[in-house]
Amino acid sequence: MSTAISPLAPASVPDMPAVAGVRLATAAAGIRYRDRTDVLLAVLDEGSTVAGVFTRSKCPSAPVEWCRVKLKRGRARALVVNSGNANAFTGRTGKQATTLTASIAARAIGCKPDDIFLASTGVIGEPLDATKFDGVLGTLARTATPDGWMAAAKAIMTTDTFPKVATATVKLGNTKVTISGMAKGAGMIAPDMATMLAFLFTDAPIAAGALQSLLKNGVADTFNAVTIDGDTSTSDTLLAFATGAAKDAPKISRAGDPRLKAFTKAFNAVLADLAEQVARDGEGARKLVEIIVEGATTKASARRIAMSVANSPLVKTAIAGEDANWGRVVMAVGKAGEPADRDKLSISFNGIRVASKGARDPSYDEAEVSAAMKNPTIQIRIALGLGKGRDRVLTCDLTKEYVAINGDYRS
């Protein structure tokens, strides 16, 4: 399998500042991989709150089920993430593994197992040997430090080709607070909530209910608007933690608090940044594809049409071939099952209109369009001419490398 970094990786990586109340540590526990880290422990100050969104899969992983239950309490002291094994479809032993992991972590930190949040990513169906965390988590709890964000983002990678981090600093009241996050993506990614694994941390004092609203709203146009292959994972988990260590900042109890305006904007920007990085690291991706649908009857209708285009293998392979094949875009609009009028439809690629009012655009110039398709970023704009519904979805192309990666992964 190629380990080359995606050509769509961001040109620069931000300096990741400490987030007060958060300490990180990683280790190589030998879950599956050799010669790399595969466990992350994030230790949170007492009083930290937590919010989360998860896969809508009917066959969720054991850690997803664990988190769903614990989330109701709204409190967290640590996050344990392992890569290499998803602990999904592992039956009763999977549940036992989550319980054991949480109690090992709780002992290491000195808290209740209920305060531990868990996420696992990797192979489905293999039993996870949680005894491997024994000892390891104790060491990590002692050595955790406020920096090490890049190391943390690396420890949670599977087929990702680059670690994904994002950060923002913003004023809450008169106090500067930080929002930092990391994500892993690659394959089995389709929006049905949050995508794969992503974790946000802030030192702002935000109550669990307010944080949950913030997260739920923020995810709709970020992680839920990204698709790699239309395949929703069993393990998708997005957790946000607020330590409240920024003591001078106003305590926020509801998402609608007007003092939260700048914070919400920064929070959403971090989500959007991480979500885009997931699209940029789609398995085998060589093009980042932005699909904008406008003039739909509603935003929800625009979303469904954009997703139909974004998940079409024929559209995605055409982009891999640098072919502005708008006929396939018409096909994907047509199959979405949403209101569309062929004779009002206009389509452009990277700003060049190729089709208008149900036929090839009169000004269509093959050479001009072909040149534009060489760009690593492709924007497909679809104007339906029916209403004011508009939406945007990010995806990537479908290349032979995607097939190679997924024809070889596992055994």
Is residue 371 close enough to count as binding its own copies by CB under 8 A? no
Is residue 37 close enough to count as binding its own copies by CB under 8 A? no
Contacting its own copies within 147-176 (CB under 8 A): none
3-state helix, strand, coil in the chain (%, to 5): 35, 25, 40
Single out the catalytic residue among 195, 232, 237, 395: 195
Is residue 365 close enough to count as binding its own copies by CB under 8 A? no
Dmax (CA) of the chain: 71
Is residue 374 close enough to count as binding its own copies by CB under 8 A? no
Which lies closer to its own copies via its Cβ, residue 18 or residue 330? 330
Q: Would you state the structure tokens that stand for residue 141, as one six-digit string?
A: 């709890």
Q: Answer for the pair 332, 355: CB distance below 8 angstroms, yes or no.
A: no
| Alpha-helical runs (H) found in 58-135 | 62-71, 91-109
Give the 3-state secondary structure of 277-321: HHHHCCCCCCCEEEEEEEEECCHHHHHHHHHHHHCCHHHHHHHHC
Closest approach of Cβ 387 to its own copies, in Å?
15
Contacting its own copies within 71-110 (CB under 8 A): 86, 88-94
Is 96 buried (19+), middle (13-18) or exposed (0-12) by CB count in 10 A?
middle
Is residue 203 close enough to count as binding its own copies by CB under 8 A? no
Which lies closer to its own copies via its Cβ, residue 115 or residue 338? 338
* Count of residues engaged in binding its own copies, rule: CB under 8 A: 79
Is residue 294 close enough to count as binding its own copies by CB under 8 A? no
One of 19, 41, 104, 123 touching its own copies (CB under 8 A): 123
Is residue 276 close enough to count as binding its own copies by CB under 8 A? no
Tell me if residue 195 is catalytic: yes
Any bridge partners for residue 283, and if so which? none
Is residue 359 close enough to count as binding its own copies by CB under 8 A? yes
Is residue 45 close enough to count as binding its own copies by CB under 8 A? no
How long is the chain?
411
One of 333, 372, 382, 396 touching its own copies (CB under 8 A): 333
* Catalytic residue IDs: 195
